[in-house]
A and B are shown apart, each in its own frame.
Chain A
């Protein structure tokens, strides 16, 4: 009897610990006004924005960070029982997929309808853009003249052999850029371009910041990164030796994507979630609220807000808004294509 007790004691102890940790989240839910956010945005900046939101509204924001794709997988796995209220990612394609699969719910908000332009939100109200990002060409002015640059497609030219820095296929930025190319040029033409890129043996670097630094150091002459990485670099070092080139201005315009959010289908704190989205689309766009989007040098989704100062140097440009609705539907195709051509 006693011996069995000895065997059982540690197991019982373990179960007690396990059940304690089981109970913990539910206990917190009951006590405070909160909103749970699944976020794929970078660390650091977002916490400050949410702290401001909490200060102004008294609603606590609980963050769970992961990559865009990992969050979607998680939302799928959890189904209707997800604890998440807000799905906040950095890729419109993923928002479209989540909406299509019924993971997001339509919300009716006059505020959001007024401040977010129609092409930057779901017609059924399931997701909304909050800050815009443009993925474009970056170059070392000591080695490349801007006249030599034109389009993403032109980087397949042999003259760029050994001179490119690219983000690997594992990142959603690469995937949606390729999706936008398929939307405009079709799969065959895109495959030719990608094969050209790969044949140029780019240096794959899984960080836009490091791509810029590697261009500055002289290893790559041209790279593709989101515009705000350069914006942020220039804020800390105005003489940072890399320049931005807006791609495809003679045709469709530079590729656009956004960080945006939607309310999950069975959000436990639906009202708080809507309130957060409305706040992020209005007060949260304020350059004074560091982080989103101004603090991160992104362009505000709300057109009545002035972009950050550093962005003035980038000038005006044309963006490819027309292919935005295709990112979600073309995502799987883009991934398969990247794999097929041997893009890392």
Chain B
């Protein structure tokens, strides 16, 4: 039996199934291709105007922001991961979990809370002036460093999670050897552990950089004109859609650069981690002031990144709920909550369904190597959507659907694809989040080996029975996790929702952002708090999943 070209049903490995798998990837790519095509009709005038006005500042700010957030999250994430994996001290286990929590606060929420607390008029600086006199000069919080501060605090958990998994997986033998050679812990960290973890760190930082590229709300609060903010500015402020599209395609290039750079760094993963299966590393016990410092330092960070903002939100929310005239807030809040849940659930179902179809079609069977190559390629394509800023995805979907919209209008005489329905929005969510759904589903499908299938089939089980008795039970956890992740990401998502939400469909994220950008902080607190609380559970799930060591899979979220 030809092992290479025949799959478990005895058919060639390249068939309709592979094509079906390519389809979702194509769905993700279409809007991006549309954006890329705008390079064909490059408008010199737009670019020379952009170049002479905002573009240099946008480019510089974008690069500085990425460098700043990348370096900060790397430093925080890696050192925290090292701390919790290498040392044992009272509270370490709890800390390990707690350190993920800041991921539950989206930047556009932490940004406004931090602004209200730390800008010139906020209580922090006001108190300092009360102590040290009114002429106290502090650096301007509404600035690039301020934006880096806020984004780093919400994004470091991505690096932390991956670094933690990597450090945990490292072989004790390597460290023992280093120790036997007389190297201290500090040297081992820099010379052994860090280089070995490089692929994971690169993956974590890449995720952080993509999120940073996507942000337009935090940078707007902090007056940092970036490319992503520029797309929104050109599109909805200056109403120059052509310029916005062209700028968006430039942004896409940068995102692509991040993806490629990360792949390069990660491609060494197998090489470095060969032969790392061995007994786990025994943690080093800390005593006295070292143990106290190990606990208090991270707790202080957690306080600023999570405790303080949540406490502030709770205080505002209570004030708002108790002071608002009865009826108004309740009615609106309930409706917006319902909208948000409906949209998020819809997105989660659609994304995971498509991801499942794709993963099922390209899952390893027959020739493992061949199928894996296909999987990798498709996953890589699907990842692109996640790397694209929401505003770019929204523009791409708009670009793609606008002509289609006209056609459909001709047929139906009513339903507007783009704005009266959730169609465009759902499509944009699919583009943006397919990578997340796919990686979750794929990882669990990989547990189903071709042998299991073949064994079941050879015992006479019909395909439907194979599906219900073998596949579904094995993939259930992965699929549920994927559903949850996409659900929460949609719930938190801002730009796509803002630009493509259907008529009358306000969501909590948009509501929060709009109120916050008008400094209606108290009113924004309840929706903000709802988003944060809804994200806490899944954030904890993330650490649970990363414990399973799912960090090395291609296109894997963690």
Q: Which residues of A line the B interface, CB within 8 A? A: 2-4, 6-7, 10-11, 13-14, 17-18, 21-22, 24-26, 36, 42-44, 47-48, 51, 62-67, 69-70, 72-74, 77-78, 81-84, 168-170, 203-207, 209-210, 213-214, 216-219, 332, 335, 339-340, 342, 344
Contacts and interface: CB of A to CB of B under 8 A. Distances in A.
A64 B360 CA distance: 40
B504 A63 contact: yes
B120 A63 contact: no
Interface string B123-153: 0011001000010000010100000000000
B11 to A, nearest CB: 10
Given A25-B504, A83-B419, A3 B9 contact: yes
B549 interface: no
Contacts of B360: 6-7
B517 A206 contact: yes
B237 A335 contact: yes
How many interface residues does chain B have, given as a range? 35 or more
B504 A13 contact: no
B324 to A, nearest CB: 9
A207 B328 contact: no
Given A2-B462, A7-B360, A22-B422, A43 B514 contact: yes
Contacts of A14: 349-350, 353-354
A47 B498 CA distance: 19
Contacts of B121: 210, 213-214, 216-217, 219
Contact of B518 (A82, A204, A207): A207
A282 to B, nearest CB: 22
B342 interface: yes
B503 A36 contact: yes
Interface stretch (B175-183, B269-277, B303-311, B408-416): B408-416
Contacts of B94: none
A215 to B, nearest CB: 9
Contacts of A69: 236-237, 239
5 interchain residue pairs of minimum CB distance? A10-B353, A21-B422, A207-B519, A2-B463, A217-B121
B504 A64 contact: yes
B546 interface: no
A218 B134 contact: yes
A284 to B, nearest CB: 16
Given A217-B126, A339-B54, A81 B416 contact: yes
Given A2-B464, A22-B415, A26-B415, A67 B423 contact: no
B503 A25 contact: yes
B361 interface: yes
A26 B220 contact: no
B220 to A, nearest CB: 7
Contacts of B103: none
B346 A21 contact: yes
Contacts of B361: 7
Nearest to B347: A17
Contact of B239 (A43, A66, A72, A206): A72
B357 A11 contact: yes
A209 B518 contact: yes
A11 B420 contact: no
Contacts of B16: 4
Contacts of B220: 170, 206
21 contacts: A11-B357, A21-B421, A21-B502, A22-B423, A43-B515, A43-B523, A51-B328, A64-B503, A69-B237, A73-B235, A77-B418, A77-B419, A78-B419, A81-B420, A207-B519, A210-B519, A213-B519, A214-B121, A335-B237, A335-B238, A344-B223
Interface string B346-386: 10011011101100110000000000000000000000000
Nearest to A168: B223
A217 B120 contact: yes
A81 B126 CA distance: 52
A209 B522 CA distance: 13
A63 B518 CA distance: 18
A81 B410 CA distance: 11
B328 A47 contact: yes
B124 to A, nearest CB: 12
B53 interface: yes
Interface string B411-453: 0001110111111001000000000000000000000000000
Contact of B357 (A10, A44, A47, A74): A10
Contacts of A203: 120, 140, 142
Contacts of B20: 7
Nearest to B361: A7
A103 B218 CA distance: 33
A219 B142 CA distance: 13
Given A2-B464, A21-B423, A82-B419, 9 more contacts: A3-B17, A7-B360, A18-B350, A44-B515, A62-B504, A73-B239, A170-B220, A204-B223, A206-B223
